Amino acid sequence: MNFLKLVLSSLYIIILCQCNLINPEEEFPSYLYIDTISLNTIVATQGSNSHKITDAIVYVKGEFWGIYELPAKILYFGNDSTRIIVQPGIKENGNSFKRVAYPFYTTFIQKVWAAPLHIDTLDISTSYTPSTVFLFNETFDAGNILEAEDNHAPVEIETDPVNVLEGGRCVKMTMDTSFPIGVMRTISTYTLDANSVLDLYLEMNYRSETDMDIYFMGIIGSTVIQTYKVTIPDRDHWNKIYINFTPELLSIRPDQFRISINADHDVENTSTTIWIDNMKMVYQ
């Protein structure tokens, strides 16, 4: 009898273990929710806090978890205290297929308490990194860094509140039958040592009644090397773009450079206008 009890007990234990192997304890996910990522700036030195942060680039426990378009609800598996890292993401050159972490915005790091099916809402703000250097930072409220190329459409200061994004002014270039081609470029030339620059970006708010072509104008001695960068489609409302000029700087290695914005008059309209605000060129 004792032998029979021992056999039955052993069989019970074996069956119980097999059931646990077949049906292991279910692991329930936790969730993160990110609505938006805001930008804080020191207005006097860093200008407007206008931004176009479209994505959250997420790491969980040090592992890359994914790129999420905002707002986003993010599923993850964690145990108790879990370290979350979020990098603000942008569309480089306005390209929806090139979503990257913006190298000039600080990274968000926080520990959350992972609990089954619990949703943690992350309130995320970012700012410019300490290594960010502003080559120029133009709000157009007190000055203007842009000019028209000779014999092309004029570049003027816009003060009509209907057309201004923020502050009291922005810049505009209007084309018509008299001046069908517009070429707007930085008045000054700029100098950077390509060997010491990791990243070079142009930030710009814009509204446009026609497409704009953006060029990098590298100057070596008396030679100007004008390199096409990107075409920005027309927009009937204000938008922001981040343009990566690092490849042009590193490939041309100019003594100096300028930025040029080119556009043509839309003949279906009496006039065609482009508005620009908050131009910043940053590097590190």
**8 compared with 107, residue with greater pLDDT:** 107
Average pLDDT of every residue of the chain: 92
> How far from the centroid of its chain's Cα atoms is residue 232's Cα?
15
Tokens of 184: 């707007």
Q: Rounded to an integer, what distance in angstroms lies between the CA atom of residue 220 and that of residue 280? A: 24
- Read off φ and ψ for residue 266, nearest 5 degrees: -85, 110
Are 217 and 223 in contact, with CB atoms under 8 Å apart?
Answer: no
Query: Which residues touch 43 (CB under 8 Å, ≥6 apart)?
Result: 49
- 15 lies in some domain: no
Q: What is the mean pLDDT of residues 18-37?
A: 74
**Nearest CA to 210 among 158, 265, 163?**
265
- 252 lies in some domain: yes
**Nearest CA to 212 among 152, 158, 275, 271?**
275
Judge whether residue 85 has pLDDT over 50: yes
Q: What is the mean pLDDT of residues 250-273?
A: 97
- 220 lies in some domain: yes
| Cross-strand pairs, 256 | 219
Q: Rounded to an integer, what distance in angstroms lies between the CA atom of residue 216 and that of residue 224? A: 10
Q: What is the mean pLDDT of residues 265-279?
A: 97
Claim to verify: residue 55 and residue 114 sit in the same structural domain: yes
Last residue of a domain, one of 127, 154, 183: 127
CATH classification of the domain holding 189: 2.60.120.200
Q: What is the mean pLDDT of residues 29-33?
A: 95
pLDDT at position 77: 86
pLDDT at position 27: 66
Q: Rounded to an integer, what distance in angstroms lies between the CA atom of residue 27 and that of residue 9? A: 30
Claim to verify: residue 228 and residue 273 sit in the same structural domain: yes
- 21 lies in some domain: no
Q: What is the mean pLDDT of residues 109-121?
A: 92
Claim to verify: residue 44 and residue 111 sit in the same structural domain: yes
Claim to verify: residue 118 and residue 196 sit in the same structural domain: no
Judge whether residue 198 has pLDDT over 90: yes
Rg of the Cα atoms in the chain: 27
pLDDT at position 26: 56
CATH classification of the domain holding 71: 2.60.40
Last residue of a domain, one of 127, 159, 182: 127
Judge whether residue 17 has pLDDT over 50: no
pLDDT band at 80, cuts 50/70/90? Answer: confident
Percent of the chain with pLDDT over 70: 90
pLDDT band at 97, cuts 50/70/90? Answer: very high
Helix and strand counts by DSSP (H, E) for the chain: 3, 21
Q: Rounded to an integer, what distance in angstroms lies between the CA atom of residue 75 and that of residue 56? A: 13
Percent of the chain with pLDDT over 90: 86
pLDDT at position 78: 75
| Cross-strand pairs, 243 | 202
Claim to verify: residue 196 and residue 257 sit in the same structural domain: yes
Q: What is the mean pLDDT of residues 1-6?
A: 44
Q: Rounded to an integer, what distance in angstroms lies between the CA atom of residue 92 and that of residue 57? A: 14
- 157 lies in some domain: yes
**Which residue segment(s) compose the domain that 247 sits in?**
133-283
Judge whether residue 212 has pLDDT over 50: yes
pLDDT at position 169: 97
Residue with tokens 């060997």: 195
Tokens of 234: 């027309």
Each residue's pLDDT tens digit, 141-189: 999 999 999 999 999 999 999 999 999 999 999 999 999 999 999 999 9
Query: Which residues touch 20 (CB under 8 Å, ≥6 apart)?
Result: none
Each residue's pLDDT tens digit, 216-243: 999 999 999 999 999 999 999 999 999 9
Judge whether residue 3 has pLDDT over 50: no
Q: What is the pTM of this model?
A: 0.89
pLDDT at position 65: 97
Judge whether residue 13 has pLDDT over 80: no
Are 126 and 39 in contact, with CB atoms under 8 Å apart?
Answer: yes
Q: Is 275 exposed, middle or buried (0-12, 13-18, 19+ CB in 10 A)?
A: buried
